[in-house]
A and B are shown apart, each in its own frame.
Chain A
Amino acid sequence: MTLNRRRFLGATAATLAAPMVQAASHGRARVVVIGGGAGGATAARYIAKDSQGEIDVTLVEPTRMYYTCFFSNLYLGGFRELSSIGHSYGTLAADYGVNVVHDWAVGVDRDARSVSLAGGATLPYDRLILSPGIDFVDGSVPGWDISAQNAMPHAYKAGSQSELLRAQIEAMPEGGTFAMIAPPNPYRCPPGPYERVSMVAHLLKGINPTAKILIVDPKEKFSKQALFEEGWGAHYPGMVERIGPDFGGTNVSVDPMAMTIDIDGAVEQVDVCNVIPAMKAGRICEIAGVTDGNWAPVNPHTMQSRAEENIFVLGDASAQGDMPKSGFSANSQAKVAAMAVRGALTGSKVFPAKYSNTCWSLIDTDDGVKVGAAYEATDEKISSVSSFVSQTGEDAALRKATYEESLGWYAGITSDMFG
């Protein structure tokens, strides 16, 4: 059996691999990855690791210390130190030979196949991977723009924004109001705003138990809604109020100077206002000309841009179909793209794509829930083929195990990203 298989393998590998080898005229094939998060770091690591030196990998990421957006809510709730969600790129450079460049990518020349950096350098590439995450849509919350992010933080890119938001919550007057302007679909991390509400409620319950939380939401429904609402009722009774589209949730504006929000004509004074605007692909996608509307459409089998076959787009920035915009999704997509890139540049074998996602959320101490799905690539889109979600009324032991599982996942995915 093994012998037969081996013999067959030889034949298959030869027929599959021989024509695929890139005849690079400049020596080692070059891959440039823009963005060092769940998509980009994973792709850089897998390509460098699996090509064993055959591919020259450069990762462009502005920050030296990357704070994961996932688990930043747990920092707000006091369950994690900020330092515990910060990661550097030292191992990717030292152990995997990835060239890590801390700079902003500001231009993509698709004809010359090169990326220009804010610092003046130019990076040539054979394949380019864009994994820049999200940017915000200007004007989506009237009265707010990025210059107001100190008065009304978004905290939807982790790090200093997370610290600022937590400091503001801790400084709220007794019985004050925390407001969240929730984003419209689609956005990064579907359960994220509601996990954040849970974590803010947990923090306030300890330091300011008469404080209120007001969610202004343009959406009728949200992920894990029954689980969150059950949890808020059980752990934080009377604290959380949500205004949906039926009561003006779609018609909201803010005044960051006055710290007021206007909901369908009714003006509310608030103490903290977390504005999570509408989102779009990170700007480099627009610069590269691979967006259609707010997002960058991709081939579901490979994560290749629909606009340019030498460019791959991963994670939040991509429009691929049914996968939610999450770190888990980006990590899953990165492995498919890494395989396709290696296949094209070195002739390594390419297997049918497999994608999956799971999102854990914490509602209160030891009360974890999750949602997940499996996906398959069709020619049109990445389609969900099965899904599951935690159930209301689960016992405490299961919820605790789910939370502990999320800690294990965090350790697993961050070592899968950063080595």
Chain B
Amino acid sequence: MRAAEPRRLGAVIVASFMGLAASATGALAELQGNPEDGAVVFQKCKGCHQVGPEAQHRIGPHLNGIFGATAGRHEGFAYSKAMQRASADGLTWDLGTLDAYLENPRALITGTRMSFRGLPDEQDRHDVLAYLRQFSDSPRDIPEAVPSAFAREVDLPPEVLAIVGDRDYGAYLASECLTCHQSDGSDAGIPSITRWPTEDFVVAMHAYKRQIRPHPVMQMMAGRLTDEEIAALAAYFQDLD
């Protein structure tokens, strides 16, 4: 029992720290829907749409592979002029566009033939999207497949921000950089990021975050860092021996 107790306490503390972050960002559960609940929501769609191994076009097109697909491109389905126009404009279905379409179909595509008044409840939309996501390419198998969860602007609570200046936090954040950038400052193929003046580092990272600098890996990495985290990294790498 004595051995078990500290371990359980540790888990509780980890969980409560996660809780801190979650409370400031909105519940983490909202980050993605629940596919099982989504299967129930999908009952509302079933009159017109099929999905799954045997799915066929009915009144509406089947929904296999919809994530990542350009709108209105299924062979053998007669789309409305409005959907064809959206297709020509390059509308691609992902969590964001599908969420908007499901909330109010006519707001996204005026003249769509989908005579559905929409799902006003955000959780319903997230759930049904999580359900449908299972019938498109999995990012596990095809990493370039469209994301399965909404990206969120990480909005760290003051408790976490307060420890940003801490070396432990900088070191943890930096460990992600060190998969590619070498801590000894070698720069073959991938630039060195050690011993940069802090301001240059911060400016460069914000330029990636705002997608002014073009490198896709760095845009992705910087895109999920807050101002405070960028500052912490700059401080960490400036002093790295």
Contact = CB atoms under 8 A, between A and B. Distances in A.
Contacts of A302: 14
B168 A348 contact: yes
Instruction: Give the interface size class of chain B.
Output: 35 or more
A236 to B, nearest CB: 23
Contacts, number: 225
A106 B163 CA distance: 42
A374 B122 CA distance: 24
Contacts of A388: 144, 216-217, 219-220
Contact of B14 (A22, A325, A344): A344
Contacts of A301: 14, 18
A386 B220 contact: yes
B207 interface: no
B31 A376 contact: yes
Contact of B171 (A50, A344, A354): A50
A411 B14 contact: no
B169 A378 contact: no
B contact patch SS: loop
A6 to B, nearest CB: 7
A378 B140 contact: no
Interface string A356-381: 11110000000000111110111110
Contacts of B117: none
Given A344-B11, A358-B217, A388-B216, A350 B17 contact: yes
A23 B6 contact: yes
Contacts of A179: none
A371 B144 CA distance: 6
Contacts of A325: 140
Contacts of B140: 185-186, 321-325
B221 A387 contact: no
A374 B6 contact: no
A331 to B, nearest CB: 5
A219 B3 CA distance: 48
A61 B152 CA distance: 39
Interface string A40-55: 0000001000100000
Nearest to B151: A385
Contacts of A328: 179
A177 B229 CA distance: 53
A386 B151 contact: yes
A164 interface: no
A257 B173 CA distance: 53
B21 interface: yes
A214 interface: no
Contacts of A339: 172
A16 B180 contact: no
Contact of B180 (A343, A352, A413): A413
Contacts of A16: 13, 17
A386 B142 contact: no
Nearest to B11: A309
A223 B141 contact: yes
Interface in B117-144: 137-144
B148 A322 contact: yes
B190 A409 contact: yes
B2 A25 contact: yes
B14 A13 contact: no
A22 B10 contact: yes
A20 interface: yes
A387 B189 contact: no
Contacts of B189: 404-409, 411
B28 interface: yes
A84 interface: no
A128 interface: no
Which A-B residue pairs are the 8 nearest by beta carbons?
A408-B189, A408-B190, A383-B149, A389-B144, A8-B162, A344-B10, A385-B151, A388-B216
29 contacts: A9-B162, A12-B159, A13-B163, A23-B2, A25-B3, A309-B11, A325-B140, A328-B179, A332-B179, A340-B14, A350-B17, A354-B173, A354-B224, A372-B216, A372-B217, A374-B151, A374-B220, A384-B149, A388-B144, A388-B219, A406-B189, A408-B180, A408-B186, A409-B179, A409-B180, A412-B180, A412-B182, A413-B179, A415-B184
Given A340-B14, A358-B180, A383-B32, 7 more contacts: A23-B6, A324-B139, A357-B143, A371-B144, A373-B147, A407-B188, A408-B187
